[in-house]
Structure 1
Amino acid sequence: MDSIDSADNVENTDTVVVVGAGPAGMMAAIKAAENGAAVTLLEKMPRAGKKMLITGKGRCNITNVAEKQELIKNIPGNGKFLHSCLKSYDNEDVQLFFQGLGVPVKVERGGRVFPVSDRAADVVDAMVLRLHELGIRLVTDARVAGLLLEAGAKGEACVKGVRTADGSQYHGRAVIVATGGASYPGTGSTGDGYRWAAEAGHHVVKPLPALVPLEAEDDWVKELQGLALRNVRATLLADGKKAGEMFGEMLFTHFGVSGPIILSLSRQAAQLLEAGSFLELEIDLKPALSLEQLDARLLRDFEKYQRKEIKNGMKDLLPGRLIEPVLDAAYLEPERMVNTVTREERHRLAQVLKGLSMVISGTRPIAEAIVTAGGVDVKEINPKTMESKLVKGLYFAGEVADVDGYTGGFNLQAAFSMGAAAGCWSVWNS
């Protein structure tokens, strides 16, 4: 459905130039056009919304129905910065926007909002169609090389447009940079906006992977590849001190661990690893039971299977593949008879079940992260308008700024809210 226009080395005089046709960029372009601006939207990939097509496992989790404070709580990367734009354009606005475009939505577990069709392509196509309806010029295969900057009448820095790699210049009274972060570079998010922001005088917080699987040092972890656990609690320890905790589902992989609770802890893990901390992850396999309750449960199972080997005496308590790693951590031979286990050994086993530990050696590469932590320092962005505090007419929206959230629709909501603010204010401030 995309309109592909070739850059032709002719200067354009659109009021607003938007760089990046992802969720924030398309929303910014739409809102600017709805407010009367002539808009050019530049996208370096062959089509718009390529990264959106893979979000939510191809279903596109467009937002979450949580209250505003809960939304902010689930955006650990500078969620408070979004107070104003979430007030102006919230999760109800996002749902109404897509319903108005002919994309009915539904609410699933955890307040996550998806298109009824379960097709991310329907979300992207509806936004692209709206671009066309508004007369927005969508230029794909357009690789922006940098910003056009000059000094204003009072000596302040101003943006006047952008230049592309083929020598074209697109002039506008406002430029909105919505180029995304550095994750999934195959979708076009290669960190270009960071470079332009730095060239314009902005501080860029070092990009780190967020919502990314973690690599473990222990061989037993990798041998459990494919094993999923539900209703467990993962605690991240930095130099022996508790740094974070999550309850829910996780997955063992060929390199370490993944799954929702691991991804939610990964932002903090990446920052702590960057700072040189020694990281461990402790898994409470039975978080619903206290240590005393768990010991009583073990005692009952051991009485039931007293003539069995320990590895068979725990089949009611753990998935089969997990039994031997747990016994090994408790220094118990799997082939020992249950009736030979001492009270002290049983207590030690209970301790392991409440805190199975592994060493975290790193994260997967930033290219594999769902989102990027870091980006343009939000202290240098007006939280109401998304305009740069350093360069007049320059706006930032979406993941290019130092804003990131957990899974569950929070990142797309942030992108839509920031894009809406930038799009509106780029016109109103002109």
Structure 2
Amino acid sequence: MGESQLKVLVVGGGPAGMMAAGQAAAAGASVTLLERNDRLGKKLAITGKGRGNVTNDADVEEIIAQFPGNGTFLYGPIYRFTNDDVRRFFAELGVPTVVERGGRVFPKSQKASDLVQAMERFLVKTGVRVQKGERVTRLSVAGGSVVGVKCGEKEITADAVILATGGASYPATGSTGDGYRLAEKAGHAVVKPRPALVPLEVAEKWVPELTGLALKNVSARVLVEGRLAAEEFGEMLFTHYGVSGPIILTLSREATGALNRGKKTQIQINLKPALTPQQLDARLVRDFDKYSRKQFKNSLDDLLPQKLIEPVVRLSGISGDVPVNQITKQQRIKLAETLTALTLNVTAMRPLREAIVTAGGVNVKEIDPATMESKLVKNLYFAGELIDVDGNTGGYNLQAAFSTGFVAGISAGKQE
């Protein structure tokens, strides 16, 4: 293509940036990827607890529904590069995937690092030049069109620029909000970033004793001023400050919204959601028969993880030393209530830097979803978490990153 070849700069080497760079190059452009870290895909490498929850097996409508707020913006991009396309893309790069509970899709190898290496192979295959340790400080705009970027004192010219710098969560991975500043300086409105999927802090002093305890197959609900606001089923985790894990992160959106409005916010955990009240009572009767000669505190080993026994005994109001065969029906009912409505008072959300996903970002009204081009600055494109769309846990946010990256890359690489 020689002199007429389009020059595209991609700022940010996360999943959206790498996808955009490779697609722009595949479309025929000369592409340079600028990454401020010393390696690509730092955040991708830790996604899904290092296992790489790359997308979700749900249909497109359901994926869109997992993005409260601006999900409809993603219709075009996700239909153009679907979850099936993501799986095919990685399979062709040597990373087959498997579907797990809740439709979550992971590499068969269970290693997120394999996804990063596959994307790096994609960049090599498509001929993208990668420059690491490059921090973009400004977009160069002339006559309403982007003409390049500044890295400190250095000017790099381009026919198109794709911003894919990530949000403001996990700053250690390089997502420190640079993209918001670049977009604002170029005239874009940025919806103030806030934590979207974030662990919660609670008041209960016994919770830190459970640090590291993961619970599976439990349900948790958010109560706002005592009224049910949201409920999720799955896995959660106790931490030194409160609670985390997939269902808590999904519920955190509702909980943080209520906290920000100054409302009393609680998380209520049902440790035995699969049992009806009658079934749970029958289970307790069975366990108490089995351990009838033991003290109450020594009778719950079949029912609860070791770490949870002492707090549950305390919260039930039954003395731990009472012989099991002396526990009354009323006390048994109180114990069942404790097991199905373990209530925690939420005091705060963890800071933005610990959020898995950032809400807020470049206003979607200023981006054309058909091309991901800015409506304000010609030849400027956006991709990934920098945009004001954020989804629940389950692989949805990575799907959005790949889909928006795909559309931005092809559009920038093929500029008419």
> Common fold, TM-score beyond 0.5?
yes
**1:393 — aligned with what?**
379
Post-superposition shift, 1:144? 0.3
Post-superposition shift, 1:233? 0.6
When the two chains are superposed, the root-mean-square deviation of aligned CA atoms in Å is 2.3
User: Residue 77 of structure 1 contacts residue 373 of structure 1 at CA under 8 Å; is this kept in 2?
Assistant: no
**2:147 — aligned with what?**
160
Change in Cα spacing, 1:69 to 1:46, as seen in structure 2 (3 Å) is same
Change in Cα spacing, 1:284 to 1:397, as seen in structure 2 (3 Å) is same
Tell me, yes or no, if structure 1 residue 216 matches structure 2 residue 202. yes
> Structure 1 residue aligned with 2:66, among 56, 65, 74?
74
> How many residues end up aligned between the 2 structures?
412
Post-superposition shift, 1:187? 1.5
Tell me, yes or no, if structure 1 residue 134 matches structure 2 residue 131. no
- Identify which range, 205-214 or 290-299, moves more after superposition: 290-299
Post-superposition shift, 1:307? 4.4
User: Residue 238 of structure 1 contacts residue 278 of structure 1 at CA under 8 Å; is this kept in 2?
Assistant: yes
**1:240 — aligned with what?**
226
Post-superposition shift, 1:81? 1.9
Post-superposition shift, 1:305? 4.3
Change in Cα spacing, 1:272 to 1:383, as seen in structure 2 (3 Å) is farther
The 5-angstrom pairing of residues 49-68 of structure 1 reads 49-68=41-60
Post-superposition shift, 1:306? 4.5
**How big is each residue's C-alpha offset from its partner over 1:337-380, in whole Å with a ceiling of 9 and x where there is no partner?**
33444433332222222101011122222222222222112232
Q: For 1:61, give the aligned amino acid.
A: N
Instruction: Report the identity percentage.
Output: 57
> Structure 1 residue aligned with 2:116, among 124, 127, 137?
124
User: Residue 77 of structure 1 contacts residue 405 of structure 1 at CA under 8 Å; is this kept in 2?
Assistant: no
Quote the Cα distance in structure 1 between the aligned partners of 2:299 and 2:108. 46
Change in Cα spacing, 1:229 to 1:106, as seen in structure 2 (3 Å) is closer
**1:42 — aligned with what?**
34
Structure 1 unaligned blocks of 5 or more: 1-12, 152-156
Q: Is the partner of 1:72 in helix, strand or coil?
A: helix
- Identify which range, 293-302 or 174-183, moves more after superposition: 293-302
Q: Is the partner of 1:24 in helix, strand or coil?
A: helix
Q: For 1:91, give the aligned amino acid.
A: N
Q: For 2:232, give the aligned amino acid.
A: M
Quote the Cα distance in structure 2 between the aligned partners of 1:172 and 1:427. 12
Tell me, yes or no, if structure 1 residue 419 matches structure 2 residue 396. no
Q: For 2:149, give the aligned amino acid.
A: V
Change in Cα spacing, 1:118 to 1:353, as seen in structure 2 (3 Å) is closer
Quote the Cα distance in structure 1 between the aligned partners of 2:398 and 2:237. 24
User: Residue 25 of structure 1 contacts residue 419 of structure 1 at CA under 8 Å; is this kept in 2?
Assistant: yes
Structure 2 unaligned blocks of 5 or more: none
User: Residue 24 of structure 1 contacts residue 398 of structure 1 at CA under 8 Å; is this kept in 2?
Assistant: yes
Q: For 1:375, give the aligned amino acid.
A: G
Q: For 2:151, give the aligned amino acid.
A: T
Post-superposition shift, 1:428? 4.0
> Structure 2 residue aligned with 1:93, among 85, 93, 96?
85
Q: For 1:124, give the aligned amino acid.
A: V
Quote the Cα distance in structure 2 between the aligned partners of 1:387 and 1:101. 28
User: Residue 191 of structure 2 contacts residue 388 of structure 2 at CA under 8 Å; is this kept in 1?
Assistant: yes
Post-superposition shift, 1:429? 4.2
**2:160 — aligned with what?**
174
Change in Cα spacing, 1:130 to 1:320, as seen in structure 2 (3 Å) is closer
Change in Cα spacing, 1:199 to 1:239, as seen in structure 2 (3 Å) is farther
Q: Is the partner of 2:235 in helix, strand or coil?
A: strand
Q: Is the partner of 1:31 in helix, strand or coil?
A: helix
TM-score by length of 1: 0.88
User: Residue 28 of structure 2 contacts residue 414 of structure 2 at CA under 8 Å; is this kept in 1?
Assistant: no
Post-superposition shift, 1:75? 3.4
Post-superposition shift, 1:190? 0.6
TM-score by length of 2: 0.91
Q: For 1:50, give the aligned amino acid.
A: K
Quote the Cα distance in structure 1 between the aligned partners of 2:261 and 2:376. 29
